Amino acid sequence: MDTPSLEPAMSSMPLHSPSGTTPVRARIALVGVHGFGTHHLQNLKRLTADGLVELVAVADPNPPAAGALPETTAVHGTLDELLAADHRPDIIIVATPIQTHAPLALSVLASHANLYLEKPPVASMSDFLRLQEAASTTGRSVQVGFQSLGSHALAAMEQLAAGESTADFPGIGTLKGISATGRWVRDRAYYKRSRWAGKRSLDGVDVVDGVATNPLAHAIATALRIAGAREAHELASVETDLYRANDIEADDTSVIRLRTLNGLPITCALTLCSAESVEPYITLHGSEGTAVFHYTEDRVTVTTEAGESTRVFGREDLTVNLIEHLSSGVPLISPLHHSGAFMRVVEAIRTAEPPQPIPPDYVEWVGTGLEAHAVIPGIQDAVERATLAHATFAGLGLPWARRATTNTEPLFAGEPLFAAGPTDGSGPADTMLRNGSGLESWLSPRPYLHPVSTASGTVVTDHLPSDHVWHLGVGFALQDVNGSNFWGGRSYRRNAGKYVDLMDHGRVGIAGAALDADRTTLDLDWFGSDGSLLLQERRTFERTVITARTWRLDIRTRLTAVVNASLGSPGSHGAAGSGYGGFFWRLPANASPRVFSSTGDGEAAVHGSVSPWLAWTGEFDAGPATLVFAAPRESADPWFVRCGGYPAVGSALAWDEAVELAAGESLTRTISVWISDGLLDPTEIEDLVAAGRDDALSATSGGQ
């Protein structure tokens, strides 16, 4: 095991003189001695003491403090002045503002020195291509300053990503995706430190100084390296979702969603508006476990069913690696052409629409003056959801994010139910139908409703929650249809006696839709994991105003087997008390929750019970609300309820036995849900249910 060290690993191999006979120290020049340049100064001081380098010159319009440099080091105001002097550097390090990288790097290569270029290499793909051409023409070497790529941990992460075990870690199974998570704090002073800080451009020159391209750029570069995506063509797609809480031009909170040529998703959720700084990390999501790499600490933690194991690795210094490359031909750790995939990301951010400002109501400021920093409440959960579900902030439907414009549309074509209600997307008229087509396959893509709100706009659904990201608002799902999982996540199997990741997920697609004022009908196809058509469904939604504070949503589904079909659940596979499957409503977190029915009170009393109705009351983010669920009229199905671990209500179609349908046979279930502002008592609930028995769904006898 490598011993953790605060210093990077070093090599004693020096450069050689042109004659090849006398060992010499590498002659280094540094352009930019402030900002990250101070790190290079400290590193060069150490390498000088070890006899590896000689700092022959520096260039900066603002000279370093007295005593910061060796007495023999020349000081210049510009790179041009440095190059005009007879210093003959082997390597020039450029650690200057982003917008100066391209012209300075091209000047270095024209001088025939080798180049160490800080990240990001340049601010546009066109400049990157020019730099590549210059490096090729001059034959000089270029190392890009992604220091995390020097970590010895990368070899272990790459093995784990390939489905292999290592000397230190068990394998994590088949790799399903990679995520990068960064939550840092940056105050107002951070954006006042220079003219270019937080800019997309300056004086007509690209800067692109955002969270993903500068402070947390290593997170993206490291994730790409582990995924094997180095050059630009190795990424199939790049999607950006950019926001800013600070008064800047660039993004400070973003999701960058990538996909490699082989379909692997890479999702980077990054913010500088956290309540506290957390060491950033890369996560490999495998079918049998996870591997987490805290790249600033070179620490890897692997978690599987067998337990958790951790190791801290050593690291190669990129300056030393460049010296070794020049002296003995060892491969560069971060060569210029391996930044091509990262530059695809930079270019996507550069050409994207400007980051959307986050409304002040969703930003808290901590501290005063220049020390104040923005905090987005709930950002930790939002980042976690994004990385687990490979979703953007817009896709999550966060209140401060953009409205989703794809895969989502209003459920009903009519006018708002409540004329005095909200018109900003939070009222019941804005109940949204999501077709599910943008979801990862292991979430069992399917249509669902979210958000659903009360008359006053209190949202009472959730989707893609971090505890079970495959929980999708309001819908109808089954964990087992002829061996295909239409629920998402892992499947429970009797022979294993546990949940296992079988990658057996099906999908439900919309074959046809008819949206009317208060009634919508969907024709759905259920495709198994092998692509075969197993079921066809007609699902109908109706909405009805009951009172000024209550409306009713009626949902009817008729499933028709295309082939002989077995509809099962974890319960039918032997998981006692886990017979979920069928109608399911995932609620958001709410305070003081109470779940009760006509026969019992509390989760233990109502879970698995059969009763005419079940109610949930709670204090939601926007106020108190009540949901009343009427049992399906066609069958006395048990209620599935979770309250303590997470909030959800379902009507279990196959509680402890599978439902068998012959080809051509149909099954129908009708659920009515009253959605009300305030807390209703049992008497009010009984009155609602009694009044709704005769008119729950107008299409009961036809339209199917």
Give residue 20's pLDDT: 43
CA–CA separation, 578 and 599 (whole Å): 20
pLDDT tens for 299-328 read: 999 999 999 999 999 999 999 999 999 999
Checking 397-404 for CB contacts under 8 A at 24+ apart, the result is: 397/432, 397/450, 397/451, 397/463, 399/362, 400/243, 400/358, 400/359, 400/362, 400/376, 401/241, 401/243, 401/356, 402/241, 402/356, 404/432, 404/434
**Whether residue 247 has pLDDT greater than 70:** yes
**Whether residue 81 has pLDDT greater than 50:** yes
- For residues 66-93, average pLDDT: 95
Give residue 66's pLDDT: 87
Composition of the chain by helix, strand, coil, percent to 5: 20, 35, 45
- For residues 102-108, average pLDDT: 98
**Whether residue 15 has pLDDT greater than 70:** no
- For residues 574-600, average pLDDT: 96
Above pLDDT 70, what percent of the chain?
93
CA–CA separation, 475 and 541 (whole Å): 11
Yes or no: say if 420 and 449 are a contact pair by the CB < 8 Å rule: no
Residue 57: HSE in the Cβ half-sphere, 13 Å Cα cutoff: 21
Give CA angle at 104 (101, 106), nearest 5°.
Answer: 100
Confidence category of residue 592, pLDDT binned at 50, 70, 90: very high
Query: Residue 303 is which amino acid?
Result: T
Structure tokens at 99: 């917008």
- For residues 509-518, average pLDDT: 95
pLDDT tens for 115-127 read: 999 999 999 999 9
Segments of 114-272 assigned E as strands:
114-118, 142-145, 175-185, 201-202, 205-206, 235-244, 253-260, 265-271
Q: Residue 282, exposed/middle/buried by CB under 10 A (0-12, 13-18, 19+)? A: buried
How many whole angstroms from its chain centre is CA 245? Answer: 19
Yes or no: say if 626 and 680 are a contact pair by the CB < 8 Å rule: yes
Which domains are seen in the chain, by residue range? 15-149 (3.40.50.720), 152-313+337-381 (3.30.360.10), 426-692 (2.70.98)
CA–CA separation, 310 and 300 (whole Å): 6
pLDDT tens for 459-482 read: 999 999 999 999 999 999 999 999
Confidence category of residue 449, pLDDT binned at 50, 70, 90: very high
Query: What's the Cα-to-Cα distance from 91 to each of 86, 132, 321, 355, rounded to whole Å?
Result: 14, 17, 12, 37
Query: What is the number of residues in the chain?
Result: 704
Those residues with Cβ within 8 angstroms of residue 389's Cβ, 6 or more apart along the chain or in another chain: 395, 396, 439, 440, 443, 464, 469
Give residue 695's pLDDT: 64
**Whether residue 233 has pLDDT greater than 60:** yes
- For residue 499, which of 533, 463, 468, 466 has the smallest C-alpha distance? 468
Query: What's the Cα-to-Cα distance from 434 to each of 237, 350, 389, rounded to whole Å?
Result: 22, 30, 15
CA–CA separation, 35 and 100 (whole Å): 14
Q: How many C-beta atoms surround the C-beta of residue 451 within 10 A? A: 24
Confidence category of residue 697, pLDDT binned at 50, 70, 90: very low
Residue predicted with more confidence, 430 or 323? 323
- Indicate the average pLDDT of the chain: 93
**Whether residue 147 has pLDDT greater than 50:** yes
**Whether residue 394 has pLDDT greater than 60:** yes
Give residue 642's pLDDT: 97
**Whether residue 700 has pLDDT greater than 70:** no
**Whether residue 3 has pLDDT greater than 80:** no
- For residues 28-40, average pLDDT: 96
CA–CA separation, 246 and 357 (whole Å): 8
pLDDT tens for 203-230 read: 999 999 999 999 999 999 999 999 999 9
Yes or no: say if 526 and 557 are a contact pair by the CB < 8 Å rule: no
Query: What's the Cα-to-Cα distance from 171 to each of 164, 295, 298, 307, 633, rounded to whole Å?
Result: 5, 20, 19, 12, 49
Give residue 24's pLDDT: 63
**Which stretches within 33-78 are classed as H helix?**
37-49
Confidence category of residue 155, pLDDT binned at 50, 70, 90: very high
**Whether residue 193 has pLDDT greater than 60:** yes
CA–CA separation, 222 and 342 (whole Å): 10
Give residue 501's pLDDT: 94
